[in-house]
């Protein structure tokens, strides 16, 4: 299979299936999953439920659908969600909590996309008809806009205690949960234990072309199933996609450690360039944010200049760029990307 020479650091969503993964996709046994008859989807769902130590799991087309079906299944219109102000469910899912679930969001702040149990306790609305009804806490692990930050199990457990005191459900946006697991040595079930629902993606660092899953109790996943259909996510011979996810779970989890090392390597090299501001110690997984001081150039100009030399990086704010490492980026690619940046920007 030919690969072009571009080094694409815009996201870990850009990976293309490996030859072996394509073979698994082609060979998959399939059926009609809307009838519940796709053996490969069923196998994947059982595997994810097992991995998260939950009763059930459901395969869905995207991380956004995983989050939004889980939110819809655990709220009613007029309810309020507690989430970080930098959360993906708010910034990058098209306003879905408001549009599809009719919920408001109470935003919390905190470095790296993290917040505390005390902040949650303070944000819960008293039972008064003036207020929306606080219903759900959403935690993103790892935290994308926070810089791939990992939540500690202790912080999560403290929040669970507050949630229980107030009868709140908890959802984890675990699009990159496996990155957190590989970096810490905790299992998916260790993290999932404190949550009613957990979403996870196969199409980020795990390198599958499509697909996510939501895990939880049989009862809540039954409701997620209904909303998956309502939101247009019922798929037919989806076993071809599920086969890629199974392959990714078998072969692409442990290697996430390489992505983390590459992200550190990239951050460390850029931190040495005058005007490039990057907190190397904050790089815990595969996401690197770099602030460019105004005498360097704008993020857009930076990305255009290095893009013209085959290194694709994402501008995320006027002076902020994001680079994400993944399966299709080797350590040699990182060194080449750094070389291109040094050539273009070292005084
Ligand atoms: N994130 C994408 C963009 O949407 C920003 C990326 O390039 O990082 N949760 C988290 C934490 C995510 O980072 C993403 C994707 C999703 C959910 C949504 O997944 P998809 O794109 O499959 O809907």
CATH of the domain at 160: 3.40.640.10
Tell me if 58 is assigned to some domain: yes
- pLDDT for res 345: 85
Same structural domain for residues 297 and 225? no
In this prediction, residues 206-234 reach a mean pLDDT of 98
Out of 251, 276, 305, a domain closes at: 251
- pLDDT for res 245: 98
Range of the domain at 277: 7-14+255-346
Same structural domain for residues 302 and 242? no
Out of 218, 251, 284, a domain closes at: 251
Give how many domains the chain has, as a whole number.
2
Q: Is residue 1 predicted with pLDDT exceeding 70?
A: no
Q: Ligand 1, residues 83, 91, 144, 321: which to mutate, most atoms within 8 A of Cβ?
A: 144
In this prediction, residues 269-274 reach a mean pLDDT of 95
Tell me if 154 is assigned to some domain: yes
Cβ contacts of 72 within 8 Å, gap of 6 or more: 100, 101, 223, 227, 231
Same structural domain for residues 237 and 331? no
Atom of ligand 1 nearest to the CA of 92: 4
CA end-to-end span of the chain: 39
Residues 50 and 327: their CA atoms lie apart, in Å, by 25
Provide the β-strand partners of residue 268: none
Same structural domain for residues 46 and 102? yes
Residue 47 Cα to ligand 1 middle (Å): 22
Residue nearest to atom 13 of ligand 1 (CA): 144
| Maximal C-alpha separation, the chain | 62
Q: Is residue 188 predicted with pLDDT exceeding 80?
A: yes
- pLDDT for res 5: 86
Same structural domain for residues 242 and 273? no
Q: Ligand 1, residues 86, 90, 92, 312: which to mutate, most atoms within 8 A of Cβ?
A: 92
Q: Is residue 47 predicted with pLDDT exceeding 80?
A: yes
Measured from CB, residues less than 6 Å from any atom of ligand 1 are 11, 13, 62-64, 67, 88, 92, 140, 144, 173, 175, 201, 203, 212
What percentage of the chain carries pLDDT values higher than 70?
99
Residue 92 Cα to ligand 1 middle (Å): 7
What percentage of the chain carries pLDDT values higher than 90?
97
Residues 160 and 44: their CA atoms lie apart, in Å, by 28
Residues 210 and 206: their CA atoms lie apart, in Å, by 10
- pLDDT for res 347: 61
In this prediction, residues 252-264 reach a mean pLDDT of 98
In this prediction, residues 153-166 reach a mean pLDDT of 98
Same structural domain for residues 139 and 76? yes
Residues 80 and 199: their CA atoms lie apart, in Å, by 20
Out of 251, 271, 299, a domain closes at: 251
Q: Is residue 12 predicted with pLDDT exceeding 70?
A: yes
Predicted TM-score (pTM) of the model is 0.97
What residue has token string 């939110």?
A: 71
């Amino acid at each position: 299979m030919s690969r072009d020479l571009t080094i694409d650091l815009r996201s870990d969503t850009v990976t293309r299936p490996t030859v072996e993964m394509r073979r698994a996709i082609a060979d998959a046994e399939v059926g009609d999953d809307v009838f519940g008859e796709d053996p490969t989807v069923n196998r994947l769902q059982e595997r994810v439920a097992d991995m998260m130590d939950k009763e059930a799991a459901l395969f869905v087309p995207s991380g956004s659908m995983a989050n939004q079906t889980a939110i819809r299944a655990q709220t009613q219109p007029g309810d309020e969600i507690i989430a970080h102000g930098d959360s993906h469910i708010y910034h990058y899912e098209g306003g879905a909590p408001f549009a599809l679930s009719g919920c408001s969001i109470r935003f919390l702040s905190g470095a790296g996309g993290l917040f505390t149990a005390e902040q949650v306790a303070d944000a819960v609305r008293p039972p008064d008809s003036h207020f929306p009804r606080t219903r759900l806490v959403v935690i993103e692990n790892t935290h994308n806009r926070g810089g791939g930050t990992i939540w500690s199990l202790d912080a999560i457990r403290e929040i669970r205690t507050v949630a229980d005191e107030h009868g709140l459900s908890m959802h984890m946006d675990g699009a990159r949960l496996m990155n957190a697991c590989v970096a810490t040595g905790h299992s998916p079930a260790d993290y999932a234990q404190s949550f009613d629902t957990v979403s996870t993606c196969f199409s980020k660092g795990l390198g599958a072309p499509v697909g996510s899953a939501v895990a939880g109790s049989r009862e809540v996943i039954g409701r997620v199933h209904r909303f998956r259909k309502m939101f247009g996510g019922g798929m037919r011979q989806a076993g071809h996609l599920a086969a890629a996810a199974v392959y990714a779970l078998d072969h692409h989890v442990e290697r996430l450690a390489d992505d983390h090392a590459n992200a550190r390597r990239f951050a460390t090299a850029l931190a040495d360039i005058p005007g490039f501001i990057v907190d190397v110690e904050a790089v815990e997984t595969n996401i690197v944010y770099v602030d460019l001081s105004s005498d360097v150039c704008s993020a857009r100009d930076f990305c255009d200049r290095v893009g013209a030399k085959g290194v694709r990086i994402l501008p995320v704010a006027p002076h902020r760029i994001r680079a994400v490492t993944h399966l299709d980026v080797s350590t040699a690619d990182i060194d080449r990307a750094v070389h291109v940046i040094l050539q273009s920007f070292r005084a």
